[in-house]
Chains A and B, each alone.
Chain A
Amino acid sequence: MKVLIIEDESRIAKRVERLTRDILGSNLNSLTVINTLQDGLSFIETNTLDVVLLDLNLNGEDGFDLLARTVSGAFHTIVVSANTNQALRAFEYGVLDFVPKPFNRDRLEQAFNRIVSEHKEKSHEVKYLSVKKRHTIQLVPIEDVIYIKGAGAYSELIIQDGIKELHDKSLEKLEQLLSPQFIRIHKSYLVKMSEVKEVKVSSGSKYLAVLKNGESIPIGRTKYKELREKWI
């Protein structure tokens, strides 16, 4: 796992680093500590990462602009902050976890577990996905997203009115963030269940999810069983 820590207080940075090394052990491939947000953001642009531990003073709109930029990346973001009153809003922006200061080893481990865990516990509802545009960051409201299609390392968001947007996170990472509102019905598709109108069985035991907008999306054979247990 490749980890970046952005924290401007050296003592706390050292603590996060020490605990991270301890928790991840041999799973840790690389770990970088950066003490300013600006340097951190430019590091993100040029390096492949799995998780960013971010100390962000979220007081004021400024903090959330920066947060939107961070969460648009391909990696997961875990906020480590003293501003606990902003935690809910941070979750809406799509952070994987919010670790309030002061924290101990257990709490940090719990955050890391979310990354690797197959178990999809109900997390806080994400309200936006932040999408990188040429020069800006755009916040796409989750309620407008119908389904998400995997496109290699990226994902394609299919939004109301036929608009499509590319997102840097993989389908797996988005599934971790968006479950249980969205369900992986196929290895390439993540669908918002409220958009599914019916499930059709076509010739050759092929299953299709027919959406409210008329589109049909294939359902994976193994996924169909899961789906049936959960929804029927």
Chain B
Amino acid sequence: MALAQDPVYKVHEILYKIGDDPSWSSVQLDDSDWTRKPPIMEDGRILWYRYNIEILNAPEELRQYGVQLEAYGEYELFWDGVLIAKNGNPGQESELSPEGELWVTYSIPAHLSDSGNHVLALRASLLHFPDHTRIFEFDIGYYDDLLTKGLIENAYMHMFAGAFLIVSLYFLFLFISNRKAYSTLVFSICCLLVFGLVLTVFSREYLPMHYSLHVIRLQVISVLLLGISFLIPFYFSMQFPFPHQKWYLIVYGGILLVMVFIKPHAFGLKSIVAVSCTWVFSFGIVVYGAYKKVKGARLVIVTLLLSMAIFAGIGFVVSLYAGLGLILLGMLYLLSMRIRDQQLAYEESLVQSTRLQLELLKKNIQPHFLLNTLTSLIDWVEEAPKKGVLFIEALAREFELFNRIEDKMLIPIDQEIELCRSHLEIMAYRKEINYSWEDEGIENDQTIPPAVIHTLLENGITHSLPLADNSIKFKLIYESNDEFKSYTFLTFATIAKQSSVLEEGTGTKYIKARLTESYGDRWEFDSQPVEHGWKNTLKIHSEEK
């Protein structure tokens, strides 16, 4: 973001001396006894810096040079022996309250900035960080350019941060509306941390800060960075699950935590290591995802490689934000894909529900049932009209019951039993077999998907022959405990020989689809021949696990 401009100055020498003498700011001073190595201070004593500077070009007319500094301590600034700025109270730090800022820009008087040699001198004390005897950033240029350069960079970075804030809030709301979608929460926090990081780093142009707060600021930055470093791979591991995921994440989190405590002041190094760890771990996860052919993994690999290319090509600070931006874009892409998949799955489930409703409806009007019933009915009407009427009433009852349940996902168990009983009544007229029904332990407040037991009953009727006394008995037993509820449906009959191997009939498919619709994968269904006939078991596990 720096304005392309040839440097207007050259620093020939930087010299230090502990002690205090007003003449030390002078251009003509003989500074041969000054030291080149920044001395380590032990207290709030005064220390002088001398920068021997050559101005290469004098400023244009009406313009003025300025000097921009990131220097620790409180100091007075002299240019060619003239005091040009006072940043705090050097030597009086322990007595007075903190004063002065860490990042400053001062103007250099125009009449003192002709081309040639000049001296910039600092009279400083560093009570809070006596080992920071250095000017960390130093620049001379046109005063107004120095001021605007930082502001422009800040403006861009704040826009960048703003984008993350909006995305973060958006995904936070998504999470609030769907509390089970933890990945949206993780993503939201991740974006919020990036927002915080960018704001902390780039607020220095307008947020005055005393140099004593400098370490706290760096600690805030590294905590934010470590949070991001953990959350990015964590998020990827949610999208691309891999074996022993929990342990890897615990170990990774442990490594990051250890980094907080070792070398507490090597912030720059630590942030490079943390970001590299993030990258390597994330890359591993995403490559595993691509190997497992998880959708979207390849595109995320591309964004990761791109961020690495920027890192290698441009350097750490720029690539940190560009890389974070890219990685978060990759994460955003994954999320949007997941959301689309969820939408599709939801639509699919709607279609499935409609299909099941139709299936239920069809049960009652399928030709095999309806036409056989009508054939029997004609015969009853012709041969025994009074019984025929009872038959019609039973048929009407079953139709009416079906009508009541056709659009429900779950119905009360007693309604289901009523349906079964009316079906048995109809079948008794058709087959002239003595059907009987028993139930045991039924709790009336229980519900069940419609026509599930009814379907088992139909199967039982189709595949059984009556016992010697021309009877078939059906029995429904309900049991429940903390872990599951179960229905056992028994047929007491002679099982008809099968002409071929029993395939999964439409009836069984219907039952399974209905159970999945209402209970997800929390159910078991088993159906097998037993000594007395047939046994079906339906188990629904409790939700809490």
- Chain A contacts to B: CB under 8 angstroms: 8-12, 14-15, 35-38, 57, 59, 62, 66, 82-85, 100-104
Min CB distance, B501 to chain A, in Å? 10
Instruction: List the A side residues contacting B379 at CB < 8 Å.
Output: 11-12, 14-15
Q: A102–B430 contact, CB under 8 A? A: no
25 intermolecular pairs with C-beta atoms under 8 Å apart: A9-B375, A9-B431, A10-B431, A11-B379, A11-B429, A11-B430, A11-B431, A15-B375, A15-B378, A15-B379, A35-B465, A38-B496, A38-B497, A57-B368, A62-B499, A62-B500, A82-B367, A82-B371, A83-B367, A83-B368, A100-B371, A102-B371, A102-B375, A103-B375, A104-B378
The A-B contact count (CB < 8 A) is 64
The 5 A-B pairs with the shortest beta carbon distances in the complex, nearest first, are A82-B371, A102-B375, A11-B376, A10-B432, A15-B379
Instruction: List the B side residues contacting A100 at CB < 8 Å.
Output: 371
Instruction: List the B side residues contacting A104 at CB < 8 Å.
Output: 378
Chain B CB count within 10 A is highest, among A59, A85, A101, for: A101
Chain B CB count within 10 A is highest, among A11, A66, A82, A83, for: A11
Q: A82–B499 contact, CB under 8 A? A: no
Chain A CB count within 10 A is highest, among B371, B377, B429, B500, for: B371
Mask: chain B, 379-410; 1 = CB below 8 Å from A; 0 = not = 11000000000000000000000000000000
Instruction: List the B side residues contacting A59 at CB < 8 Å.
Output: 368
Given contact pairs A38-B496, A102-B378, a sample of 20 additional A-B residue pairs in the complex whose CB atoms are under 8 Å apart? A9-B431, A10-B432, A11-B375, A11-B432, A15-B375, A15-B376, A15-B378, A36-B465, A37-B499, A59-B368, A62-B500, A82-B367, A82-B368, A83-B368, A84-B371, A100-B371, A101-B372, A101-B375, A102-B375, A103-B375
Instruction: Tell yes or no: B344 within 8 A of A by CB.
Output: no
In the bound complex, how far is the Cα of B433 from the Cα of A14, in angstroms? 14
Instruction: Tell yes or no: B374 within 8 A of A by CB.
Output: yes
In the bound complex, how far is the Cα of B470 from the Cα of A35, in angstroms? 13
Min CB distance, A53 to chain B, in Å? 13
Instruction: List the A side residues contacting B375 at CB < 8 Å.
Output: 9, 11-12, 15, 82, 101-103
In the bound complex, how far is the Cα of B499 from the Cα of A66, in angstroms? 9
Min CB distance, A100 to chain B, in Å? 8
Instruction: List the B side residues contacting A103 at CB < 8 Å.
Output: 375
In the bound complex, how far is the Cα of B368 from the Cα of A85, in angstroms? 11
The B interface, classified by DSSP as helix, strand, loop or mixed, is helix
Q: Which residue from chain B places its CB closest to the CB of A61 in the assembled complex?
A: B500
In the bound complex, how far is the Cα of B429 from the Cα of A117, in angstroms? 36
Interface residues of B in 343-389 (CB under 8 A from A): 367-368, 370-372, 374-380
Q: Given A36-B465, A62-B500: A101 and B430 within 8 A (CB)? A: no
Instruction: List the B side residues contacting A57 at CB < 8 Å.
Output: 368
In the bound complex, how far is the Cα of B374 from the Cα of A102, in angstroms? 6
Q: A38–B430 contact, CB under 8 A? A: no
Q: A11–B380 contact, CB under 8 A? A: yes
Instruction: List the B side residues contacting A12 at CB < 8 Å.
Output: 372, 375-376, 379, 430
Q: Within the complex, which residue of B376, B432, B433, B496 is in contact with A36, where a contact is CB–CB below 8 Å?
A: B496
In the bound complex, how far is the Cα of B371 from the Cα of A15, in angstroms? 14
Q: Which residue from chain B places its CB closest to the CB of A57 in the assembled complex?
A: B368
In the bound complex, how far is the Cα of B275 from the Cα of A30, in angstroms? 94
Q: Which residue from chain A places its CB closest to the CB of B369 in the assembled complex?
A: A82
Interface residues of B in 479-514 (CB under 8 A from A): 496-497, 499-500
Instruction: List the B side residues contacting A85 at CB < 8 Å.
Output: 367
Instruction: List the B side residues contacting A101 at CB < 8 Å.
Output: 371-372, 374-375
In the bound complex, how far is the Cα of B372 from the Cα of A27, in angstroms? 28
Instruction: List the A side residues contacting B376 at CB < 8 Å.
Output: 9, 11-12, 15
Min CB distance, A21 to chain B, in Å? 14
In the bound complex, how far is the Cα of B366 from the Cα of A85, in angstroms? 12
Q: Given A15-B379, A37-B499, A83-B368: A10 and B374 within 8 A (CB)? A: no
Instruction: List the B side residues contacting A37 at CB < 8 Å.
Output: 499
In the bound complex, how far is the Cα of B376 from the Cα of A83, in angstroms? 16
Q: Which residue from chain A places its CB closest to the CB of B380 in the assembled complex?
A: A11
Q: Which residue from chain B places its CB closest to the CB of A80 in the assembled complex?
A: B375
In the bound complex, how far is the Cα of B379 from the Cα of A11, in angstroms? 7
Q: Which residue from chain B places its CB closest to the CB of A66 in the assembled complex?
A: B499
Q: Which residue from chain A places its CB closest to the CB of B506 in the assembled complex?
A: A59
In the bound complex, how far is the Cα of B429 from the Cα of A37, in angstroms? 21
Q: Within the complex, which residue of B430, B465, B500 is in contact with A9, where a contact is CB–CB below 8 Å?
A: B430
Mask: chain B, 411-444; 1 = CB below 8 Å from A; 0 = not = 0000000000000000001111100000000000
Min CB distance, B208 to chain A, in Å? 84
Min CB distance, B433 to chain A, in Å? 7
Q: Given A11-B376, A12-B372, A101-B372: A36 and B430 within 8 A (CB)? A: no
